[in-house]
Structure 1
Amino acid sequence: MSVVYSAASNPLDPILSGINSAGSGPVSSSMLPDGSVFKTNFWDGAQTAYDAFYPSGILPAFYPPGANILDLGLPMPNVEQLYLGDGNLSADQQSMPGRHGPYTDNLTELFEAFVMDQPFFTNPAFKFGYVKEGVNWYEAPGIPMTAYDDYGRENPWPLLRVQAIDAAGTVLASNDTVVPISGEANCGICHNAPVDGGNGEATKNLVGEPSTVLDDPQLDAVPLDVSLEYAADLNLIRLHDQKHGTDLQNSTPVVCQTCHYTPALDLAQLGPLGPENDGPLVLNGVTISDSMANGRDQVKHKSMSNVMHSHHGSVTDDNGDKLFPDMPPAIKNDLGIVENFQQRRDVLEATCYQCHPGRRTDCLRGAMSNGGMLCQDCHGNMEQVGNDFTRGVSPATPGKFELGGDFYTNADQPRVPWANEPGCGSCHTGDAMDNLASSANTMVNNVDADANVDGIRLFQAYLTSDAKATPIVPTNKRFAENVIEANNPAVSGPADPRIGNPMLYRISTGHEGIFCEACHGATHGIWPNKNPDANDNVAAVQLQGHTGTVSECSTCHTGDLGNTLEGPHGMHPVGDTSFSNGGHEDLAEKKPDACRACHGVNGEGTVLARAATDRTLSNEGKSITLARGEPVTCTHCHENEL
């Protein structure tokens, strides 16, 4: 069997309405005056800009000088082979659908990788790393996508059709899923010249006049937004040159992460590299490359997350007020409405959405957003996010990294970006019988978005008393991510402090080894999207006939599953089954607490027992109709026997 992908579309795609994903204005267009469509200039500079992120000589082997590399992705190292296999280094490279015939060809492309065990920063220096064993997934790492479609419409949520096929080419399964992509950044709000619409807060510090769109040599040959970003970037590196004595303005193309480490671009999971620890790459006695660092200078500089979040989080205006304000706590009424939502949304757009996509994109778009939660409710404020393992690093103290494995238990251990992140278990701390909602300094979700009483789940992923916004790690793991066990290949011994640490949501698995994302959606787009027509909802609708978490057993199973609690999170079969039609009575009598865990201590129904869609159930000769979102109680069908 093999797995392939091709481009797909949604006839109800909301961008066809002309309004952008955030509902904040018209869809941005990259249509040029001559009628052509600008999609990206990534490949114009990719060979030079990204060369440093590979050992010397590696990227040219995949992007040969003079070759046509358009729509060809960056090579992604096979870290399973490197760290868990024969110790050699190879890479997979994916193509954009239609690469060989743009606008006309939509031939399928192969998922180039199959991963059995996934290493996650298992370098011995990384005391936080682990191996996620038994993932057994097909992977298409680094598929190149652009945020503009063939008609020049900005669409950050394009669809790909993923299909499993047998050796004869027969399609065994098919599903359309979102591949998020956005180039939106709003640095220009401060870094564009006032004549270009900037507010002057950053450009006022420049020596000389700020750069404008008129300084873009490609002005009018690219969309105006691209020229505005070019001018903002030029002003930004001029400020950097002024402050730090660099010469970035004459060293283009500039990729900040060449000096400011980020795990996101550490594709081989080698850690920060620079002249201080450079050397040849030797694998199994063979010299693969003369230089691992290859121009990177990350050992003496703070990480990208640190310099961006810590600096901007502390910047003030002429009145001493923060330019990037702190997020006020949510005020949620008994109907589930966040009464200060607009105030909080304004703060979001003045902080996270200045750099992360964004005001047009709305990358936080799923279930948490539906409930009124915003980025800071999970991650903390900007200075808390920026307080990472490189906080003590400087040219005078190169390599002063703090990489302990006890981030979740030691108040002095700073975070590692992309590794120490809030998880599902940080708010979903247990069930109706055992949770942390009554613990001190937790922010409890009082009601859900449909005004159902909650009191089980949290509205903030960290304690209100925690200065570093450490994600809560629950003792009840019913809804939590996988944890690092004592027998994990990365663990050094029984005293290793990383034992018990949560793994990331995106590589955690549950029921029968299925990935959490397969039923719940992507990290910042947990199903459902509030717009029923959104591309995010297409996968779930195709799989089970309605939006939201994939909860219908018939998605994967056939026939009646009987009386069992072996479903995801200890669930019983859902829908009009023999379990609902009297089959559960014996179980309720013998194991009443198993029912109470979701249906409530007194069987009154809780937010954990809401109907996933409108349902009609049969019980004791009568039909019971449930509306989507309605908590299921014992008394819907019979007397309360709990």
Structure 2
Amino acid sequence: MTNASGTVTTSSSNTTIATVTYAAGVATVRGVAAGSATVTVRDSVTTRTVAVTVTAAVANAYSLLAWNNLGMHCVDGQDYSVFSILPPLNTLNAQLVNKSTGALVTSGVTLTYQATADATGSINTISSTKTNFWQYVQSLFGLSPAPDVGLLGYPMASLTPARMAYNSTENWFEAVGIPITPTDDTRRTNSYPLVQVVAKNTAGQVLATTKVVLPVSDEITCKACHTSTTSTNTAANAAKPTAGWVFDPDPLKDWKKNILRLHDQKQAGNAAYAAALTAKGYSNGLYASALAGKPTLCVACHVSNAYQIEAGFPTGITGISALTKALHASHGTAVDPANGLTLDSSNNRSACYMCHPGSVTQCLRGAMADVKDSGGNVAINCQSCHGRISKVGAATRSGWLSEPNCQACHYDSKRELSAVDTQGNLLNWSDARFATAQNKPSEGFSLYRFSTGHGNLQCSACHGSTHAEFPTSEPNDNLQSIALQGYAGTVHECTVCHATVPNTANGGPHGMHSIGSAWVGNHEHSAETASQRASCAYCHGADFRGSPLSQVKMAKTFNADGHNVSYVAGQQVGCYDCHSGPTGGALTLKTNYASRDQGFFSELLSSTRSYLVALRDKVVAIAGA
């Protein structure tokens, strides 16, 4: 339409087959995958419709990003005959990006998941032979899913692809309640099993694939304090029921039976407890009911947002404390038999890992897990974000909703080591550059795992799941980001989602500019004014010599004004790498040479600075003598 009248619009009947764009009087049709589609171009007067047949798929036209919604799902493990806190219920989410448009694909495609082996050969294709969950699921949940089918109807990941559903509210594809366990098909424990997600168009053409972890652990246990013992350790016997330890020969059942016996003992004479037992079919008490073959479902009486948010499963009885309060508030004063400290007085992961996965599983494994302080000690622990155990069990807290957010630590170019103050209250800052979305998933809450960012992608799609932010210490977690961009870490290479990298000064994720040689060669007009340079300083540092936010994640070489400028992985980008500061002129041969031998000149510069600082201090000392 070289003589178009008014605004020109374009559309395609199936963007997974072909897309159409219009610019400078030319309509461009791009084939995406084999198949047929109809493209339409219209202005205010004329409409043109063209049938398009694509005979071969265009390689690398889509990017598929998938993630687990929590970073770790806990299960009761092999035995459900006594009581259940958590069933096998894992959730997989995914989003598909059309790289020719940079937009999400929400229709005309089918996404499936299936089990796949990792580099060690570990694969997990069946759950029903590894747990007795399906033997007790009717008694516990009133449901009768077939073996290897979860509470919400999604099957276990197997060698047969299982279909995901599109959630239009959250704008993602999902499989909710996959009943996976942490035991692979050779009976080895593997809390990080892999699944492959495949996206196909309506013609059955594969558009993109990815591999992602479905993290799961049965290291959710109370055995440290509730296992029958002959020890004389006071702390080890603090939870001993008045009627004595059960000493069940099955270690998977022993500590659970001790808990039910103690629970009955502590609630004896409580009218509300007696009424709840009758209402839920445990009229003889929890312990006696379990012995009679009726296991206890904890959330039958105690409200749990975990069930209600994740699975839409009703829980709790009015007047009985929420599960998170009942567990955390009552255990803050419990003493760890191993070190003699109350769980609330601990300021490291050991207290939480006594019950949560765990000293073996190490579910806190993401980018923040390995941060060290100046003494080389772990700087970020569970309490750094969640506060102490008693704070987690506070009556004012809403479990699974009152959670820490990103902006408590990431604000004003800073990266703090704690999201809470000394009282355990979440810190609040005005800078929202890295903030989670407000009122997600409901009014008054702001959860990372429900937040979206650039291009309507979920934050988890690029940054990873909670507790497993990229890169992680678990190799399987990093496979997706490596496949997408060539290295483990946050997905931030523009080419992952854009076939042609947009040129923008602030339209990227978190207000970032484009990255790559095109930006390097033409960015001078974005740093001409003081206000523009102030924007640059957010990531490149107040002195414009770089900061952790401007760090290069892999070795790169850029061409600027005819000169090649090279960076090594981990190097921070600043104005002085190429210029004499943010207002400096063109690249010089000297700075270009320095950038090619970065290690030597960085060391020389550092030594020179140290010498000058020492000399200054000496002069000051002499002057003050």
| Both proteins in one fold, TM over 0.5 | yes
Of residues 553, 578, 583, the one that matches 2:518 is: 578
Is the 1:430–1:479 Cα contact (8 Å) retained in structure 2?
no
For 1:563 and 1:137, locate their aligned partners in 2 and report how far apart those are by CA, in whole Å.
Answer: 26
Code of the aligned partner of 1:457:
R
Q: Does 1:483 align with 2:438?
A: yes
Q: 1:6 corresponds to which residue?
A: 114
Q: Does 1:169 align with 2:204?
A: yes
Match of 1:44, SS? helix
**Change over 3 Å in CA distance of 1:563–1:249 after alignment to 2:** closer
Cα shift readout 1:26-47 (whole Å, capped 9, x = no counterpart): xxx9xxxxxx996222111111
Q: Does 1:364 align with 2:364?
A: yes
Cα shift readout 1:124-172 (whole Å, capped 9, x = no counterpart): xxxxxxxxxxx32111111111110001111111111111111121111
Q: 1:589 corresponds to which residue?
A: 528
For 1:200 and 1:483, locate their aligned partners in 2 and report how far apart those are by CA, in whole Å.
Answer: 43
Of residues 421, 432, 447, the one that matches 1:463 is: 421
Answer 1 or 2: higher relative contact order, Cα 8 Å, separation at least 6: 1
Of residues 420, 424, 449, the one that matches 1:506 is: 449
Cα shift readout 1:178-233 (whole Å, capped 9, x = no counterpart): 1111111231111112259998624663234422342xxxxxxxxxxxx3231110
Is the 1:37–1:150 Cα contact (8 Å) retained in structure 2?
no
Is the 2:226–2:239 Cα contact (8 Å) retained in structure 1?
no
Cα shift readout 1:350-374 (whole Å, capped 9, x = no counterpart): x111111111101110011021311
**Change over 3 Å in CA distance of 1:268–1:176 after alignment to 2:** closer
**Change over 3 Å in CA distance of 1:545–1:197 after alignment to 2:** farther
Is the 1:426–1:474 Cα contact (8 Å) retained in structure 2?
yes
Cα shift readout 1:283-310 (whole Å, capped 9, x = no counterpart): xxxxxxxxxx7xx652121111111111
Question: What is the CA-CA distance between 1:321 and the residue it aligns to?
Answer: 5.9
Code of the aligned partner of 2:149:
L
Code of the aligned partner of 1:589:
E
Question: What is the CA-CA distance between 1:325 and the residue it aligns to?
Answer: 4.4
Code of the aligned partner of 1:430:
D
Q: Does 1:609 align with 2:550?
A: yes
**Change over 3 Å in CA distance of 1:300–1:269 after alignment to 2:** farther
Q: Does 1:266 align with 2:312?
A: no
Of residues 321, 326, 331, the one that matches 1:312 is: 331
Match of 1:235, SS? helix
For 1:639 and 1:264, locate their aligned partners in 2 and report how far apart those are by CA, in whole Å.
Answer: 55
Cα shift readout 1:389-419 (whole Å, capped 9, x = no counterpart): xxxxxxxxxxxxxxxxxxxxxxxxx221111
Of residues 29, 32, 43, the one that matches 2:134 is: 43
Of residues 557, 576, 581, the one that matches 1:635 is: 576
Q: 1:376 corresponds to which residue?
A: 383
Q: 2:147 corresponds to which residue?
A: 70
TM-score (norm 1): 0.65
Is the 1:379–1:385 Cα contact (8 Å) retained in structure 2?
yes
List alignment gaps of at least 5 residues for structure 1: 17-28, 30-35, 52-58, 64-68, 76-92, 99-105, 118-134, 215-226, 272-292, 329-343, 389-413, 432-455, 491-497
Let me know the Cα RMSD of the aligned residues.
2.9
Question: What is the CA-CA distance between 1:628 and the residue it aligns to?
Answer: 2.0
Question: What is the CA-CA distance between 1:426 and the residue it aligns to?
Answer: 1.2
**Change over 3 Å in CA distance of 1:524–1:194 after alignment to 2:** same
Is the 1:5–1:108 Cα contact (8 Å) retained in structure 2?
yes
Match of 1:625, SS? strand
Q: Equivalences for 1:121-200 in 2 at 5 Å?
A: 135-194=170-229
For 2:306 and 2:149, locate their aligned partners in 1 and report how far apart those are by CA, in whole Å.
Answer: 19
Is the 2:329–2:394 Cα contact (8 Å) retained in structure 1?
yes
Q: Does 1:95 align with 2:155?
A: yes
TM-score (norm 2): 0.67
Question: What is the CA-CA distance between 1:574 and the residue it aligns to?
Answer: 2.0
Q: 1:400 corresponds to which residue?
A: none
For 1:267 and 1:579, locate their aligned partners in 2 and report how far apart those are by CA, in whole Å.
Answer: 43
Code of the aligned partner of 2:439:
I
For 2:425 and 2:366, locate their aligned partners in 1 and report how far apart those are by CA, in whole Å.
Answer: 23
Cα shift readout 1:600-619 (whole Å, capped 9, x = no counterpart): 12212111111122222222
For 1:622 and 1:478, locate their aligned partners in 2 and report how far apart those are by CA, in whole Å.
Answer: 33
Question: What is the CA-CA distance between 1:623 and the residue it aligns to?
Answer: 2.3
Q: 1:116 corresponds to which residue?
A: 168
Is the 1:196–1:212 Cα contact (8 Å) retained in structure 2?
no
Q: Does 1:415 align with 2:397?
A: yes
Q: Equivalences for 1:508-547 in 2 at 5 Å?
A: 508-531=451-474, 534-547=475-488
Match of 2:401, SS? coil
Is the 1:527–1:547 Cα contact (8 Å) retained in structure 2?
yes
**Change over 3 Å in CA distance of 1:143–1:459 after alignment to 2:** same
Cα shift readout 1:85-132 (whole Å, capped 9, x = no counterpart): xxxxxxxx200123xxxxxxx111001x32222xxxxxxxxxxxxxxx
Question: What is the CA-CA distance between 1:375 and the residue it aligns to?
Answer: 0.6
For 1:6 and 1:297, locate their aligned partners in 2 and report how far apart those are by CA, in whole Å.
Answer: 34
Q: Does 1:555 align with 2:508?
A: no
Between Structure 1 and Structure 2, whose CA radius of gyration is higher? 2
Is the 1:257–1:304 Cα contact (8 Å) retained in structure 2?
yes
Question: What is the CA-CA distance between 1:569 and the residue it aligns to?
Answer: 0.5
Cα shift readout 1:43-85 (whole Å, capped 9, x = no counterpart): 111111122xxxxxxx35xx3xxxxx1100102xxxxxxxxxx
For 2:536 and 2:551, locate their aligned partners in 1 and report how far apart those are by CA, in whole Å.
Answer: 13
Code of the aligned partner of 2:519:
F
Cα shift readout 1:429-474 (whole Å, capped 9, x = no counterpart): 233xxxxxxxxxxxxxxxxxxxxxxxx211111122xx3x232233
Code of the aligned partner of 2:478:
N
Match of 1:260, SS? coil
Match of 1:355, SS? coil
**Change over 3 Å in CA distance of 1:461–1:179 after alignment to 2:** same
Code of the aligned partner of 1:514:
L
Match of 1:540, SS? helix
Code of the aligned partner of 1:257:
V
Is the 2:226–2:240 Cα contact (8 Å) retained in structure 1?
no
Code of the aligned partner of 2:368:
M
Q: Equivalences for 1:392-471 in 2 at 5 Å?
A: 414-431=396-413, 456-464=414-422, 467=423, 469-471=424-426
List alignment gaps of at least 5 residues for structure 2: 1-108, 269-273, 275-284, 372-377, 584-625
Question: What is the CA-CA distance between 1:559 and the residue it aligns to?
Answer: 2.7
Code of the aligned partner of 1:423:
N
Query: What percent identity do the matched residue pairs reach?
Result: 33
For 2:546 and 2:499, locate their aligned partners in 1 and report how far apart those are by CA, in whole Å.
Answer: 28
Match of 2:343, SS? coil
For 1:72 and 1:470, locate their aligned partners in 2 and report how far apart those are by CA, in whole Å.
Answer: 41
